[in-house]
Structure 1
């Protein structure tokens, strides 16, 4: 749920154009807006501003009114929302009005969110937030943070959603925006509720409810009670659910808030459904369905239709149940809403199973399982668990303080004689029990120490092997170039060679230094992984830009050998991995290809999309290799150095390092090669991978 109420601002200038279009537009708009007093009022003010003698489309008051009116269409008419937002965005850019531009981009994001285009919505929200950060308006920043966090929640990215909600609450507390704080806290509660952590959700809802009571906002209080009712229904606390939803409905009816009224009817229907009172559940679902014909809220309609399907299923009216479940499933797929797909798939599985359509039932069960696996990823819940742990810890501390205070009070009334007798008995019992526990702990401790010693012995052996390999590579590939540089400097110093002669060695010295730098980078990366110091931190990023950066980095080497490097990776190749580790893999593979490709050759980098991964290839037109050499390539215990077509040196470490980095990111690497034809290295990497009513 969004409550977008931009503030009106005054301005400056003079105009004269697009009058005929705007008169016709607002004439049609007034017919639609007659259904709502707020739209009616805003349309009237727009007419008045437009009719002023010195009207200008760069007038910030006019732009603010456009943004405000467009927000009123968020759950009613998507076409009107888009038209008004497009106009506001155009006029804001023309007049360099940053606040208007950020609000228009936010409203455009809402439009795309309503259309189920989550990635486009997120892109608009991010752009809006970037512009808003250049202003001093904390209120617009809080609005954008809220809708962006909500979109991440709908998209199933709970960690990013949580981070943004926490960032928003911190800003709201700092800037004193209590209404925005209550909205963000409520959506944070919704985030926990969507994860079925109902107890934690109720804690946040109670805090929001008290905050709204202090503010004195009845509508906000009704929204919170409606969300609480939904959670109580899911918890099976039906009396609490009915109390809260019944208290919220009259407020929405009196204020003509149709989207929230529809939601409250749906929650009441769900409460009856959970109690298996299917007749009354359908009554309230039908009331909700009538309101949905007047608003545009596909996400809300998913829960409504699926609830109706469950109610009809409970009444054994299977055909009607399948009709509503299928409609809900189609809307969920249309707007790409994972949680909706999950619910509808389970309902359709049960329906088809009851009709003995086992192949269809299996299909929907597989869809349900696939979406469930995606939504329950550990990394999405980690941030929520951290916050919950912090809150639980604070509660335990408060409980402990209260408990200690109570114990001190009670001690004053205890008879000292009885205390002495009881304490003696307790001490004796505890000493016996403690002795037994100490003996058990000592046994466990000794066993753990033995296991730790064995583990450390193994780790020490591995570290020694790593050390030996590091010294071997340093002695083999670094000492030579460094020694040559020392000797040249000595000869120059003592006059054995002239400065002009020394300058002739500069290109060679530069190649040696580049080789030393490349070798050191690989050594440090490999050594860190062997010493267990490298932590894989996967993020979503575009591979095309990373490949382009490495091509630019190695372009001079390619130019020296007249080798053409081709990047065929598209800009939509988004992967989920550690950017620094994949950077090392790409650089080593391209460097290898350049090393073993003769002059006037070609190196091509490409990507093929799989079901849940990308297959990356680095192909060269070089000398190739036999099967024996291929079998030794990824051996971690080998540091065999091979020279390139121009006698370029290598560490023999790069490919084993590539193998480690790829496998740390849940991929695999292999090679295909033929002598005198060329070599192609392949590796795979994972792809980068939205029922509660949210307030805006």
Structure 2
């Protein structure tokens, strides 16, 4: 059995111990009080924990409240699971599940799914465990409990890690961490941080692994058991770095912490790591000593786990036999009733049945054959309809993509090409002197280079859309994207004598689709130039907010009205474009594309009106991982 099972047992404290209804006795005589006392002792003093459970059970039985009885049964299951009595634990979970289902208590049903999943996980049946956790997550859509949802994702991540599905496990641990931060659950934060550190360790991403483990160690709220896992993780981390002295220090801390909390799996894990540390450090006596400790605990755990699995199989066989007996009794009862009715009917209809028996059989065969033929034809028609529908949908999607591509290209190329056309027209009419031509040539080169880079980006993105590809999220330097857009729109801004102020920061990395990001920045900058008065200014700067990196594009002028801002942010169709400060025309598509692409990249658009000082557009992207 893998060493990660100890982490699962810890999760059980939070997955299966849950809020019980408070019965109307005095606090120390209530079900809630005794259940809470039992939870406190579940890991350290099982007999006393069981004593409090019996107290709670007596009160719940007297109350005849089925939900309270189910709560007690569920806590029994949790406590017996901790000590490894899987057979009794599963029986109690099933008792609780029956009462919760009978009373339509969906949260209770959800927790029973988690309890059963943990038992399957505990004996190494991770595929079955994942199915139960997924059922719990699906039910959580009705319960809407973020704490339980985070535990569901965490449990799935544990099983995926045991199945070597590290990428999926990593994603689920991240979901757990985000939900734990949202619900302010310190326990789930510690669990997910330890697991993220372990995943990075398995991937040999040692700096990231060290970061997550040290967050646990430095957190005063983390308990000794959580720190034991982190200490041992750091020991293995520094072992991989060949820093044997530091590996030994953390390994001994992890081992002692595991001894203090009597965590068998952590003792086996930490002693095995220490054995490897001492072996690499040529301390063979100590290496052998800790190898023997690891082997002793692993052998013990293996034997216990096999006994638990056998007990579980025996219980499942008993349950199957009981279900079979119940089914047989039900069939026998119905059969007896049917026999009585049949005996009465047979005397009346025997002669009639003998006469029509032959013809009935013949007709039945003919009808059956016709039915099968008709069923096959219906199936063929249904399959053809489905194929035609699918093909029509593909054609419709391709047509929509084509229209979107034409709109994007026409929108983003209009401004730079117009600027180039104006310069060429002036050159043709002889309105430009040699000195001016030299200056304009430099600007034209900048304009053409920027437009070319922008066009290549859009065309590359367009090809992926025509091929039906999904978004390709990658780490991008947003500074480079802004520079390209400034270059592409250089002449447009210069024609209005607009100053573009760019507060560059080389550490600004985002996670987004490259084509989408170019289109977003280019449209916002083009829009800012359009509505900035002559001799005005545009400022581009950055800020951070939690997991988002914000790109601020602020133009001077009178600013957009509040009603227009509401229209942009709340409508999902092309809007009527207002003329720019120099009567520039627009398609009404640009801001709609910006909003759509930001949403598809898990970002958002915000607009702030600054009275008479202009408008601030804020494009928020996800920070790079």
TM-score normalized with structure 1 length: 0.40
Determine which structure has greater relative contact order: mean sequence separation of CA pairs < 8 Å that are 6+ residues apart, divided by chain length.
1
TM, length-normalised to structure 2:
0.45
